[in-house]
Amino acid sequence: MDFADIFAFLKARLAQGQPCVLVTVCAVEGASMRNPGTLMGVARDGAFTGSLSGGCIENAVVAEALDALDHGAARIVRFGAGSPYLDIKLPCGGGLDVHFQPLHAGTPDAETPDADTLCTDRGVVDAALASIARRAPFALAHDGTQLRHIDDWRPPSPLAQGGRWSFGYWPAPRLQIVGHGAGVEALARLALETGCAVSVLTPDAALLADLEARAIPTQRLARIDQTQLLSSDAWTATIFLFHDHDWEIALMARALDMPHFYLGAMGGRRAHAFRSEALLARGVSAPAIAAIHAPIGLFHSSRDPHTLALSTLAEVIKAYQHTDFEAALG
């Protein structure tokens, strides 16, 4: 989920006239902390964002990136098992094939090979950020000669003959938090810190003011039937944090009918029984109700706001990581 920060870093440094390197893990042998498709950005001054390991190879990666800039050409380097860097070992014992793509600070070309690809240096970065901003899947691909942005998701294609590879990236998880109380603020702040997108719907005026001061997107719920305020996509988790469960029913019935990868609600078994009966009375199907995560969170009976936020976010991220979005989207 850190790829948004990486492309923002690259865009800012390129805009300053500083060449950069986009670093991509394009194959993994054996055990590894990070998967193929993991990214890192390195600037000419040695600053970087992202990581490829737990910190054991980052310095070597930066040195290799700067050398690639000096020579002005892309390269693939093995780290870990089978690497020419004999003094650099991965604790997990695996090996990484890492691609280094120099990015130059010139103006993006006006022309592209076709409507779905961009292959100029800054063009790739700008196109990736545009995909991220509109919450659209995209892919990066290298044909052995140039790096391209593809305006659609592609299944992982690790390093092949000729230096070809491609990796798709789904939008980051978005938490749509609907509720009131300190748990809403705690979850919104924690989710933002971990790179998730966040929006909040609440009738709590004091909470609205506090979240708006933190630049967290918010909307005021004035009535229990304002279902038009909900918005969602396949990468959205909708989370209900109401102590007064009468607020939930109309909103939850609508949320269940919208795209989402997770829907959860606070409250114990008695509260969920009330919720389930009310949703059935509104015509919501039993399978849809059964899919609600309630009680919410990986560890239940979380009563303080920060523990509830951690428990909930952990369950949401687990669901995101285990969702087959390619199959879900057909």
Nearest CA to 9 out of 37, 39, 52 is that of 39
Nearest CA to 210 out of 188, 178, 238 is that of 188
Dist CA 166 CA 235 (whole Å): 22
pLDDT digit string, tens, across residues 162-189: 788 999 999 999 999 999 999 999 999 9
pLDDT at 83: 57
pLDDT digit string, tens, across residues 33-65: 678 899 999 999 999 999 887 666 888 899 999
Dist CA 230 CA 236 (whole Å): 11
pLDDT at 113: 42
pLDDT digit string, tens, across residues 238-261: 999 998 888 999 999 999 999 999
> Residues 245, 255: contact at Cβ < 8 Å?
no
Backbone angles phi, psi at 240, to 5 degrees: -105, 120
pLDDT at 141: 93
User: Buried b vs exposed e over 203-221: b needs ≥16 C-beta within 10 Å?
Assistant: bbeebbeebeeeebebeeb
Torsion sign over Cα 72, 75, 79, 85 = negative
Q: Say if strands 20-29 and 147-150 run parallel, antiparallel, or are unpaired.
A: unpaired
pLDDT at 96: 84
